[in-house]
Every structure is written in structure tokens, then in C-alpha cells.
Amino acid sequence: MAKPHLGLPLVAFMAVTSIQGADKYHSQTIGLQMAVVFPTSPDLRLTAGSPGLLLGVHGTWIFADQHLLRPRLDYTHFLSQSQTSSLPALTQTIDTRVSSLAFGFDYLYRLSGKRSDWALGLGVVEIRWAVASTNRINPARGGSVAASGTSHWANLGVGPVVSFRISDHQEVEARLITSRYGQEKQPANTASIGLLWHF
């Protein structure tokens, strides 16, 4: 199991603190986000199956009119996936449920000034992946054997972010995240479309 990159939360905190101290103009908001998350890498699609639901909280610091720094915490849960293979002597079924908890921050740049509705940037997050699995073996002669467990891995995720401001309190967001999970560091890439509420 990989160890979490504990420096990321500290880097985000230091970045926010330095921005607030250096810039005379800044504004702050807190908010909630919800998104539909699509697994895009082959192994994650096989393990996670259907699109998942993301829920989270965030803060936004606006500085120098066009620059935004957005610390965020996201929890994503995918529906369960089942894979079955059959041999003459037995049938094996593996049920998996994938979830993740991510903390990081986005940097966004408003493309044509502070009144611009469009912003483009980059997201960097520390993702703790969890895969709960149940392995069932059903011999042809009858009976069954089952084993369950949950594995965890922590890896960095990074990718582009595009947002469109609907109003002062709502924003639509699309993001791609490239990460890895599993003992063999297999790709765990996702695409999401979501809505943010600012308070």
C-alpha cells in the first residue's frame, strides 16, 4: 500500500497563505460540488463499471482579478461491478466496488478578466483509492467458497480543468484526472462534469 503524499495539503495551505499576504485584493468563498465521474482507463472501467457520483466541499480564493486558487475535498463512489468466469469444474465471480477520497487544489485563470465567465486551469490532488472485492468460487459439485477484503492505495492525480460561471453562486465544471492505483500502478483516469455552488 502506497503512503500518502502528506506534503500536498501543506503546499496548498502555504500557497493560500502567501497569496493572501502578498496581494491587497482577494475574495474568498466556500462551497459544495457534485459531479458525475466516468472511468476512462480500461482497467478502471473493468473494475469500477458504471459512472460514479462525486460529492465534495471547496474554498475559492480570487487574487489579481483573474487568478483563482481552489482547495477541494472530493469523495467519489462508483456502483458495484461483477465479473464472472466459468470452467468445467467451477464458476468464479468477483464483485468489486471502487471509491476514492481526494484532497488537493485547482489553479484557474479567467480568460478575459475578472468578469469573464470562462476559466481554464490545472488540478492537482492526492487520491486515496479503495477497492472492496468479494471473490466467490462455486464448484460444479455444489457448495461455495467466498473471500472478501478491501485494498487501499494513495497516488497523485493531475489534469486540466475548465469551468463556466453560470451566476455568482453557480459554476459548471469539466475536468480530467490522470492517476494510478493497484500494486502494479495501473492507470486510473477519470473524466467528470459537475456543478459547483458558492456561498
Q: How many angstroms separate the Cα of 89 from the Cα of each of 60, 77, 83, 136?
A: 58, 35, 18, 14
Give domain status of residue 1, yes or no. Answer: no
Q: How many angstroms separate the Cα of 170 from the Cα of each of 4, 69, 97, 131?
A: 32, 17, 31, 33
Rounded Cα gap, residues 178 and 188, in angstroms = 6
Q: How far is CA 185 from the centre of its chain?
A: 17
Give domain status of residue 150, yes or no. Answer: no
Domain count, the chain: 1
Give domain status of residue 172, yes or no. Answer: yes
> What is the pLDDT tens value at each position of the chain, 199 positions in all?
445 555 554 454 444 444 444 343 347 899 999 999 999 999 999 999 889 999 999 999 998 889 999 999 999 999 988 888 888 888 989 999 999 999 999 999 999 887 889 999 999 999 999 999 999 988 878 788 899 999 999 999 999 999 999 998 999 999 999 999 999 999 999 999 999 999 9
Hey, how many other C-beta atoms are within 10 angstroms of the C-beta on 101? 17
Give domain status of residue 122, yes or no. Answer: yes
Give domain status of residue 89, yes or no. Answer: no
Strand 190-198 vs strand 186-187: parallel, antiparallel, or unpaired? unpaired
Name which of 87, 83, 182, 176 is nearest 125 in CA terms: 176
Give domain status of residue 88, yes or no. Answer: no
Rounded Cα gap, residues 162 and 78, in angstroms = 23
Q: What is the pLDDT of residue 103?
A: 98
Instruction: Print the domain residue range for 54.
Output: 7-12+28-82+103-126+156-198
Q: Where are the beta strands (DSSP E) in 111-144?
A: 118-139
The radius of gyration of the chain from alpha carbons, rounded to an integer in Å, stands at 20
What is the pTM for the complete model shown?
Answer: 0.83
Give domain status of residue 179, yes or no. Answer: yes
Check which CATH number belongs to the domain holding 110 and give it. 2.40.128
Give domain status of residue 133, yes or no. Answer: no
Q: Could you give the dihedral angle defined by the CA atoms of residues 154, 158, 162 and 165, in that order, rounded to the nearest 10 degrees? A: 40
